[in-house]
Amino acid sequence: MTDILKPEVDRRTLLRRAAAVGLLATPAVTMLSACVGGGSDDKDDSADKPAGTVSATNPLGIKEDEPLEIIIFNGGLGTKYATDVDIPSYNKLFPKSKVTFNQAEEISTVVQPRFTAGNPPDMINNSGSKLMDQGALVQAGQVQDLTELFAAPSVDIAGKTVKDTLIPGTIEQGTFNGKPYVLNYAFTVFGLWYSGKLFKDNGWTAPTTWADFTALLDKMKAKGITPFGYAGANAPYYMYTLLLTSAAKIGGADILKNIDNLEDGAWTNDAVKQAATAWAEIGAKYSNKAFLGLKHTEVQLQQDQYKVGLYPSGSWLENEQAKDTPEGFDYQLMPVPSVTSADKLPVTALYAAAGEQYFVASKGKNPRGGMEFLRHMLSKAGAVGFTQLTKTLTVVAGATDGMEISAGLTSGNKALGAAGADTFSFRFDTWYKKLDDELRAATNELMYQGGTADKFVTRMQKAADAVKKDSSIQKFSR
């Protein structure tokens, strides 16, 4: 068996935790017990020992005719990067290996039952509004340690290991208590997106202060445009990322670190409350409560029709809307305006981090093949192909330097350059699914259902305290 994280909980607690997220049903108890038990003689060590010949081109020792199964989330990034770039790259080195490809819009619905049954795919893109609980998967011993992957040589960047080719912080973003289990592949810049054409036609400029921000929203409202909105049905994550961005700017990036670490009072910190107060007013005065029942693509389509002025999202947005975006729309990104004149971080500060989770199932039939597939994704050719097809950067440093890219990606890169070292992110959403679920509901209440900042921070602190006190949940920290 691969070297897995051994949580400081007893066996019964671990099984209860796994059952809570659907990793086992009653008939599958034996299966999971064998997977996560300590000292069992029936361990599967297929990922520990190379089944094939280790060589310069096969550093992980892949058995050349071993089949491989992958499943990719079909969302804003699509799936063509896998079918048109990464699978051909893998098969170039391993032509005898049959790669079975599947896609899904609801990853947990499709994949979780397969973990329960004991036959998961080898490599999974865990993303979307119905992603699996990544922390629980790690805790249950279902996720492959990627240390060997990152130590392996790059496919096509001579003289460097995979780790050497990555943007700093990439491996840490997918690390759980000291071990790398997840590859966060897409480098995402998050902020407020707008039409450059709409702004140019009306003589508007991107605001930097909250007063200028609300003044702009008033101008949009006067023109019959819904100034701001997000989709409550499946994308409150977009909105809560914006709110926490404001909190980090007001109080400093440690606000998010304290939330991640389940520090006492992290959610009731005044910076979070100020951010919630500011955004609750935006929801009440400048949005459309009907958006509560819409999906992200429905609100995004309204923006493409010039009916919505500003929309919170990551840099995948431009690609996701490509078929509906009118000629000359000109996607542009603005950083979240400063809420106060005393914000600890400048207006140029951004939420920017490696995102979009990919992991290898330690109990899959070919975990080494799953790691090898990720090695091809992390090649220069893989990164270039991904960016060309998705208009999104990867975590392979400098892979797309000098490329002519789209308006939105150019705008995001410019904002990233202006941010410099003032970038930040959070981790609790992948560590603690219960907290993520509660925050989605609390955000919708705050923005669209008459909630208040006091109620929001109190609700979230209660949820965080409950996670902290629950001994069945493995705790992580940074």
Q: DSSP secondary structure string, 93-139? A: H-TT--EEEEEESSHHHHHHHHHHHT---SEEEE-STT---HHHHHH
User: Which residues have a Cβ under 8 Å from the Cβ of 101 and sit 6 or more positions away?
Assistant: 70, 71, 72, 79, 82, 83, 87
427-463: b (≥16 Cβ within 10 Å) or e: bbbbbbbbbbebbbebbbbbbbeebebeebbebbbeb
Give yes or no for residue 403 having a pLDDT over 90: no
Strand partners, 176: 179
Q: What is residue 23's predicted lDDT score, i.e. its pLDDT?
A: 41
Residue with tokens 């119905």: 130
Q: What is residue 187's predicted lDDT score, i.e. its pLDDT?
A: 92
Q: List the one residue out of 137, 142, 185 whose CA is nearest residue 162.
A: 185
Kindly report, residue by residue over 146-162, the tens digit of the pLDDT: 999 999 999 999 999 99
Return d(Cα 221, Cα 129) in angstroms, integer: 30
Q: Where do the structural domains in the chain lie, given as residue ranges?
A: 11-180+361-400, 188-353+425-469
Could you say which DSSP state residue 391 is in?
S
Domains 11-180+361-400 and 188-353+425-469 alike in fold: yes
Q: What is residue 43's predicted lDDT score, i.e. its pLDDT?
A: 39
Burial class from Cβ neighbours inside 10 Å (0-12, 13-18, 19+) for residue 168 reads: exposed
Which two three-digit tokens encode residue 116? 């329960």
Give yes or no for residue 254 having a pLDDT over 90: yes
For strands 350-360 and 308-314, give the pairing. Answer: unpaired
Kindly report, residue by residue over 86-137, the tens digit of the pLDDT: 999 999 999 999 999 999 999 999 999 999 999 999 999 999 889 999 999 9
Cβ neighbours, 10 Å, residue 254: 16
Return d(Cα 353, Cα 111) in angstroms, integer: 26
Strand partners, 313: 191
Q: Which of 192-201, 213-222, 367-376, 427-436 has the lowest mean pLDDT?
A: 427-436
Burial class from Cβ neighbours inside 10 Å (0-12, 13-18, 19+) for residue 10 reads: exposed
Could you say which DSSP state residue 68 is in?
E
Identity of the highest mean pLDDT range in 10-19, 122-131, 358-367, 394-403 = 358-367
For strands 226-228 and 308-314, give the pairing. Answer: parallel
Q: Judge contact between 125 and 134, C-beta under 8 A.
A: no
Give yes or no for residue 9 having a pLDDT over 90: no
Q: For the chain, percent helix, then strand, then coil, each to nearest 5?
A: 45, 15, 40
- Within 13 Å, how many C-alpha atoms sit on residue 3's CB side? 8
Percent of the chain with pLDDT over 90: 82
What's the CATH superfamily of 188-353+425-469? Periplasmic binding protein-like II (3.40.190.10)
Q: List the one residue out of 340, 335, 351 whose CA is nearest residue 250.
A: 340
CATH classification for the domain delimited by 11-180+361-400, as one of 3.40.50.1460, 3.40.190.10, 3.30.540.10, 3.30.450.20: 3.40.190.10
Q: Judge contact between 259 and 464, C-beta under 8 A.
A: yes
Could you say which DSSP state residue 475 is in?
P
Q: Reduce the secondary structure of 346-384 to three states and give it as a string.
A: CCCCEEEEEEEEEEEECCCCCHHHHHHHHHHHCCHHHHH
CA separation, residue 56 to residues 60, 61, 147 (Å): 9, 10, 18
Phi, psi of 154 (to 5 degrees): -60, 150
Over the Cα atoms of the chain, what is R_g? 22
Return d(Cα 334, Cα 58) in angstroms, integer: 44
Kindly report, residue by residue over 161-208, the tens digit of the pLDDT: 999 999 988 999 899 989 999 999 999 899 999 999 999 999 999 999
Which two three-digit tokens encode residue 226? 């819904």
Which two three-digit tokens encode residue 316? 């995948």
Q: What is residue 17's predicted lDDT score, i.e. its pLDDT?
A: 38
End-to-end CA distance of the chain: 27
Return d(Cα 215, Cα 207) in angstroms, integer: 9
- Which ranges in 263-314 belong to alpha helices (H)? 270-286, 296-304
Give yes or no for residue 14 having a pLDDT over 60: no
Kindly report, residue by residue over 313-354, the tens digit of the pLDDT: 999 999 999 999 999 999 999 999 999 999 999 999 999 988
Averaged pLDDT for residues 224-247: 98
Calculate the dihedral angle through the C-alpha atoms of 10, 12, 14, 15, rounding to the nearest 10 degrees.
Answer: 160
Return d(Cα 250, Cα 322) in angstroms, integer: 34
